Amino acid sequence: MSYIKSLKFFCFFTWWITFFVAFSATNAQTLTDSLRKEIHLGIDETINNQFSKAEIRFRRLIARYPEHPAGYFYTGATIQAEILDREDYARQQEFDDLMEKTVQTAEALYDSLQNDPWLFFLEGSAH
């Protein structure tokens, strides 16, 4: 593996591990137990390069919770992991669109879920 590719993987997986630890330790206001469980499983699948399985899981979250930014964000994160792993940027626009949708759905929930840290995390990470 080239030095640049190794560095990309290190940065990407450092972010995932940091998030996973924070995610596990935090009691999220808007994330139900079933939603958190699905996210955990999808993160594990992504880390284990099971991109198709993770993407299907996260797209089901979008179908079940279309107004919540989590499904859009994690689907995009999985696509980004696949892009970096394969060094194939054909899905870059799809990733960008999902991050934009994450921002839009997070902003739409600010009035109803004031001070929810997950909205801030998801929107900030999508930028």
Mind listing the pLDDT tens digit of every residue in the chain (127 residues)? Answer: 565 655 565 556 555 555 554 444 444 445 678 888 999 999 999 999 999 999 999 999 999 999 999 999 999 999 999 999 999 999 999 999 999 999 999 999 988 877 778 888 888 889 8
3-state secondary structure of 2: coil
Measured between alpha carbons, how far is 39 from 93 in angstroms, rounded to an integer?
23
Could you tell me how many helices (H) and strands (E) the chain has, helices first? 6, 0
3-state secondary structure of 89: coil
Question: Structure tokens of 62?
Answer: 């979008």
CA 28 to chain centre: 15
3-state secondary structure of 48: coil
Measured between alpha carbons, how far is 104 from 25 in angstroms, rounded to an integer?
27
Confidence (pTM): 0.77
